[in-house]
Amino acid sequence: MNKITLPITSPMMKRQFTFGVATASFQIEGGIEHRLPCIWDTFCDTDGKIADSSNGKIACDHFNKWQDDVELISSLGVDAYRLSISWPRVIKQDGTLNEEGVSFYQNLIDGLNAKNIKVFATLYHWDLPQHLEDQGGWLNRETAYKFAQYVDLISKELGEKVHSYATFNEPFCSAFLGYEIGVHAPGKTGKANGRQAAHHILLAHGLAMPILQKNCPNSLNGIVLNFTPCYAASDSDADKQAAEYADQYINQWYIKPIMDGAYPSIIDKLGNDWAPDMQEGDLAIINCPVDFLGINYYTRLLYSAPTQDGEFYTEHDHLFPRTDIGWEIYPKALTELLVSLNSKYTLPPVYVTENGAAIADQMVDGIVQDTDRINYYNGHLNAVNDAITDGVNVVGYFAWSLMDNFEWAEGYLKRFGIVYVDYDTQVRTIKQSGLAYKDLITSRGE
Ligand code: FCB
């Protein structure tokens, strides 16, 4: 199939539904000599951390090619572009603004707005300034206050030209992958570290929210969380319990404090060694109303009872079919996720802020026929539509990603773009999935 089709009666086929594409600063910008070093620069320089030993020094050279990229985004017919602001690009080591970095985003945002493209800016997509990591990074409570200062300065500069601010992208990844199992920067490990980093990131979110609401009251201010729905590997009570624990530990841990002002009950099983240090009032700060919730979804996982002391679950390998990064393709879990979050919490309007597939693309005669990616989008967009039919207030969807880019620990080996990037020439070519996405978007009625 070469098309993405939604039922003609779907609310997603109306212009008021927001369709966008997404990227993140470290993954596309390059231009590192114009900013402070960040934890991903350091991680890339550490042997064995990145699959192809690559780094973000050039990436998609978006720092220099941003004007062409604005044209490219506009040519896709999207309503919105989700980008991230690089903290180490806009703030200097003394905590004041780096005017050059601020101008870069000012120009980019003006360029997008001039094309009628709404800007969804994420204020932290994993590129913590290295000098803050040297002082403990997200294990240091002080970093949360540093983040709030940065948010105050940058949101005063960019103001309401930014349609929507997200404080964080995927706290789970920063905390769990970065500080608990160490496969992402800064590569620290240990349950206590992971839980502590998560708490400080959530605290930083809670401290930043009132600042955004004050500086940019007309912008939509919220957060982007990722979810990997947890399914029991069998009907046994032990496996169901394991899946429930996994869900609390990797998913609900990040949303429940924001929505309900409490951690999920698994916190009581962590004991003093692993539970995070908190101060009185922290949960009330985190439990601040958000204007929207961004949800990133790629795949699900299966769980069974733990086989080791001290563990809560055993995680299974992904089932098939899989994308090129090894993640199971299972659109139904996206519907079930949205419906279950909607029943557990009182949700604000929801945007699916990331969804997409890594495919081993081949360019033949200038064409990338990425049928598997088109099928992925077709399945998942229809899954979103099913959730809307079931009563979930989903108001937007962003494809990950606008273009192929630096895929973290996988380097440049995994391609998620709807636009192909030739890293030798930096030439961008819209893939067939990009054309299918454009077709869908431009075929919407009033
Ligand atoms: C998400 C990240 C994004 C991208 C996709 C594939 O976890 O937010 O930067 O790498 O995965």
Q: What are phi and psi of 148, to 5 degrees?
A: -60, -35
Query: Is the previous residue joined to 186 through a cis bond, with omega within 30 degrees of 0?
Result: yes
Decide: residue 272, CB within 10 A, 0-12 exposed, 13-18 middle, 19+ buried. exposed
Give the ranges where 137-236 is alpha helix by DSSP (H). 142-158, 171-172, 191-215
Whether the CA torsion 193, 400, 431, 424 is positive or negative: it is negative
d(CA 40, CA 64): 20
SS3 of residue 360 by DSSP: coil
Distance 298 CA to ligand 1 centre (A): 9
Indicate if 354 belongs to the active site: yes
Ligand 1 pocket test target in 123, 124, 170, 400 with most atoms within 8 Å of CB: 400
SS3 of residue 99 by DSSP: helix
Distance 400 CA to ligand 1 centre (A): 8
Contacts of 360 (CB under 8 A, 6+ apart): 324, 415
DSSP 59-84: TT-HHHHHHHHHHHHHHTT-SEEEEE
Which tens digit of pLDDT belongs to each residue from 147-185? Answer: 999 999 999 999 999 999 999 999 999 999 999 999 999
d(CA 281, CA 228): 29
Regarding the beta carbon of 24 and ligand 1, being less than 6 Å apart is answered yes
Regarding the beta carbon of 416 and ligand 1, being less than 6 Å apart is answered yes
Distance 205 CA to ligand 1 centre (A): 19
Decide: residue 339, CB within 10 A, 0-12 exposed, 13-18 middle, 19+ buried. middle
Ligand 1 pocket test target in 23, 124, 173, 351 with most atoms within 8 Å of CB: 173
d(CA 299, CA 282): 31
The pTM assigned to this predicted structure is 0.99
The closest-lying atom of ligand 1 relative to the alpha carbon of residue 407 is 10
* Beta-strand pair 301-304/230-232: parallel
The closest-lying atom of ligand 1 relative to the alpha carbon of residue 414 is 6
d(CA 323, CA 330): 10
Length of the chain: 446
Residue owning the nearest CA to atom 9 of ligand 1: 24
Strand ordering across the sheet containing 301-304: 230-232, 301-304, 314-315
Regarding the beta carbon of 170 and ligand 1, being less than 6 Å apart is answered yes
d(CA 133, CA 127): 10
Q: Catalytic residue among 29, 133, 170, 336, which?
A: 170
Return the residue matching tokens 């120009």. 107
Indicate if 29 belongs to the active site: no
Regarding the beta carbon of 173 and ligand 1, being less than 6 Å apart is answered yes
| CATH code given to domain 11-442 | 3.20.20.80
Per-position pLDDT tens, the chain of length 446: 689 999 999 999 999 999 999 999 999 999 999 999 999 999 999 999 999 999 999 999 999 999 999 999 999 999 999 999 999 999 999 999 999 999 999 999 999 999 999 999 999 999 999 999 999 999 999 999 999 999 999 999 999 999 999 999 999 999 999 999 999 999 999 999 999 999 999 999 999 999 999 999 999 999 999 999 999 999 999 999 999 999 999 999 999 999 999 999 999 999 999 999 999 999 999 999 999 999 999 999 999 999 998 899 999 999 999 999 999 999 999 999 999 999 999 999 999 999 999 999 999 999 999 999 999 999 999 999 999 999 999 999 999 999 999 999 999 999 999 999 999 999 999 999 999 999 999 999 88
The closest-lying atom of ligand 1 relative to the alpha carbon of residue 408 is 10
Which helix (H) or strand (E) covers residue 238, if one does? helix 237-246
The closest-lying atom of ligand 1 relative to the alpha carbon of residue 24 is 9
Residue owning the nearest CA to atom 4 of ligand 1: 407
Give the ranges where 124-182 is alpha helix by DSSP (H). 130-133, 142-158, 171-172
Return the residue matching tokens 């949360």. 144
Measured at the CA of 265, the angle between CA 313 and CA 351, to 5 degrees, comes to 85
Q: Which two tokens stand for residue 373?
A: 């990616």
CB 351 within 8 A of CB 292: yes
Q: Which two tokens stand for residue 333?
A: 């879990």
Distance 403 CA to ligand 1 centre (A): 12
Give the burial string for 192-203 (b: 16+ CB within 10 Å, else e): bbbbbbbbbbbb
Regarding the beta carbon of 26 and ligand 1, being less than 6 Å apart is answered no
Domain residue spans of the chain: 11-442
Distance 280 CA to ligand 1 centre (A): 33
Q: Catalytic residue among 133, 180, 244, 354, which?
A: 354
Return the residue matching tokens 């899946």. 243
Distance 349 CA to ligand 1 centre (A): 22
